[in-house]
C-alpha cells in the first residue's frame, strides 16, 4: 500500500527572520500548530550537537500521545533560502506513527516568504494501521497541518492570535451547525412527517399548484433538507449564507401572505428566522478571521518569484 507524503505550502507576507522565530521556538510553535500540545527542547552539550526535543499531543478522553525528535540540520543558501530538517518517533503503542522524517523550507522573495513542509512516516499495527492511516489519520493530519499553517499566516500577517482564531472557528462551526439543524428540522418534521400541522394548510391557502399541494410540500421539505446539509459541508461559502438570508426573507413573506395570522403565535416564523439570519451575518463577519486549510497548496508547483 503506497504512502502519499504530506506536503503543505503557503505564502506569507512576513519576514524570514520572524517566520523562523515563530516556527523554531517551541513555546511559540505549540501555540499555532494543532498537531502539538507541548514541544520542549532538551539541553545540548554543544552547538554542533543535533537539537533533540519532546512532543506531546492531547487526543481527547484524557489520553496523550508523546514522542521524541531531533533536528538533523538546517542551512541557508546565498539566496536566503533556508531548510530545517527533522526526524521524529514514538515508542508508545497508542501512537499510530512509529517513525518519520521531513523538513520545513523557507523561500524568501520580494513579496514575503514561501513556507512549505514535506514529511512522511511509518505506522505500526500492521495492515490495520496502514488502512487507518490511509483513509483517516493521514487526511486528518494533512488537514491539521494546512489549517495550522494558515493560522500562523493570520498571526504573522494579520495579528490574529491562534487562540482568538480557534475561538472564532468554534463559533463559526456552531453557527453553521445551528443553521443546518434549523433547515433540517423544518424540512423533516413539519413538512415530511407532520405536514397536517400547518404546512399543508399554508400551501393550500397560497393558491399555488392547486391539486398538487401535498407533493409541493414534500418537494419543499426535501429542498430544505438538502440546503441544510450544505451548511455542514460548505459553511464557509459566502454565497450559501447570502442565499440563506434571501431564502428566509422570501419564506417569511410567503408565510405572511398565505396566513398572516401565524405571526401572532409564539415562536412564529419571524422570531425563528431572525435568529438564523443573525447567525449567517455572524459567519460572514467571522470569515476573514478564520484559518482555512484550503488556502494552502497540497502539491508542489513551480512558481516564479521576483528576485530580492
For residues 179-215, one letter each, b for 16 or more C-beta atoms within 10 angstroms of the residue's C-beta and e for the rest, the string is: bbebbbebbbebbbeebeeebbbbbbebeeeeeebee
Q: Which residue has the higher pLDDT, 305 or 53?
A: 53
Return the SS3 of 302: coil
Select from 95, 72, 97, 94 the least CA-distant residue to 83.
72
Q: Is the pLDDT of residue 85 over 80?
A: yes
Q: In whole angstroms, what is the distance from residue 147 CA to residue 294 CA?
A: 8
Rounded to 5 degrees, φ, ψ at 228 are -65, -40
* Res 75: pLDDT: 73
What gap in Å lies between CA 225 and CA 187, rounded to an integer?
5
- What is the mean pLDDT of the segment spanning 171-199? 90
Predicted local distance difference test score (pLDDT) of residue 290: 96
Query: Sorting pLDDT into bands at 50, 70 and 90, what band is 114?
Result: very high
Closest CA to 71 of 90, 55, 85, 56: 85
Dihedral angle over CA of 22, 23, 26, 31, nearest 10 = 70
CA pair distance 9, 115, nearest whole angstrom: 6
pLDDT at 262: 66
Q: What pLDDT score does 267 carry?
A: 64
Residue 308: predicted pLDDT? 42
Q: At residue 302, does pLDDT exceed 80?
A: no
Q: pLDDT (tens digit, 9 = 90+) per residue, 200-250?
A: 777 776 667 787 888 888 898 999 999 999 999 999 999 999 999 998 888
In the chain, the percentage of residues whose pLDDT exceeds 90 is: 67
Supply the pLDDT for residue 264: 66
Average pLDDT, the chain: 89
Sign of CA dihedral 74, 140, 148, 305: positive
Tell me the per-residue pLDDT of 240-284, one tens digit each, with 9 for 90 and over: 999 999 988 887 776 666 666 666 666 666 777 889 999 999 999
**What residues are paired with 69 via a beta bridge?**
53, 88
| Residue with more model confidence, 290 or 212 | 290
Over residues 97-118, the mean pLDDT reads 95
Q: pLDDT tens digits, residue range 143-163? A: 999 999 999 999 999 999 999
Q: What is the pLDDT of residue 84?
A: 92
Count of alpha carbons within 13 angstroms of residue 270, beta-carbon side: 9
Angstrom distance (rounded) from CA 88 to CA 69: 4
| pTM listed for this prediction | 0.84
Look at residue 76 in the predicted model and tell me its pLDDT: 76
SS3 101: strand
Torsion of CA 300, 160, 243, 277, to 10 degrees: 160
Q: How many residues in the chain?
A: 308
**63-76/6-12 β-pairing:** unpaired
Angle (deg, nearest 10), helices 238-258 and 199-206? 70
CA distance 115 to 307: 16
Amino acid at each position: 500500500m503506497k504512502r502519499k507524503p504530506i506536503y503543505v505550502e503557503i505564502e506569507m507576507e512576513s519576514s524570514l527572520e520572524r517566520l523562523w522565530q515563530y516556527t523554531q521556538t517551541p513555546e511559540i510553535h505549540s501555540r499555532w500548530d494543532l498537531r502539538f500540545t507541548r514541544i520542549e527542547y532538551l539541553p545540548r552539550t554543544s552547538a554542533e550537537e543535533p537539537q533533540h526535543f519532546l512532543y506531546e499531543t492531547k487526543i481527547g478522553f484524557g489520553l496523550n500521545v508523546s514522542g521524541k525528535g531531533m533536528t538533523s540540520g538546517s542551512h541557508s543558501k546565498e539566496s536566503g533560502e533556508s531548510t530545517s530538517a527533522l526526524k521524529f518517533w514514538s515508542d508508545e503503542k497508542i501512537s499510530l506513527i512509529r517513525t518519520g522524517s521531513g523538513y520545513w523550507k523557507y523561500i524568501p522573495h520580494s513579496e514575503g516568504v514561501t513556507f512549505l513542509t514535506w514529511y512522511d512516516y511509518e505506522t505500526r499495527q500492521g495492515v490495520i494501521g496502514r488502512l487507518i492511516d490511509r483513509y483517516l489519520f493521514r487526511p486528518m493530519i494533512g488537514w491539521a497541518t494546512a489549517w495550522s499553517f494558515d493560522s500562523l499566516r493570520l498571526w504573522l500577517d494579520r495579528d490574529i492570535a491562534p487562540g482568538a482564531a480557534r475561538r472564532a472557528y468554534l463559533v463559526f462551526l456552531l453557527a453553521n451547525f445551528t443553521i443546518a439543524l434549523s433547515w433540517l428540522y423544518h424540512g423533516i418534521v413539519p413538512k415530511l412527517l407532520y405536514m397536517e400541522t400547518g404546512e399543508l394548510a399554508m400551501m393550500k391557502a397560497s393558491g399555488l399548484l392547486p391539486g398538487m399541494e401535498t407533493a409541493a410540500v414534500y418537494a419543499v421539505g426535501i429542498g430544505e433538507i438538502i440546503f441544510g446539509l450544505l451548511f455542514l459541508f460548505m459553511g464557509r461559502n459566502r454565497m450559501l449564507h447570502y442565499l440563506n438570508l434571501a431564502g428566509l426573507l422570501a419564506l417569511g413573506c410567503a408565510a405572511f401572505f398565505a396566513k398572516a395570522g401565524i405571526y401572532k403565535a409564539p415562536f412564529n416564523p419571524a422570531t425563528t428566522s431572525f435568529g438564523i439570519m443573525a447567525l449567517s451575518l455572524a459567519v460572514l463577519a467571522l470569515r476573514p478571521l478564520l484559518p482555512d486549510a484550503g488556502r494552502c497548496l497540497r502539491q508542489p508547483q513551480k512558481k516564479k518569484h521576483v528576485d530580492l
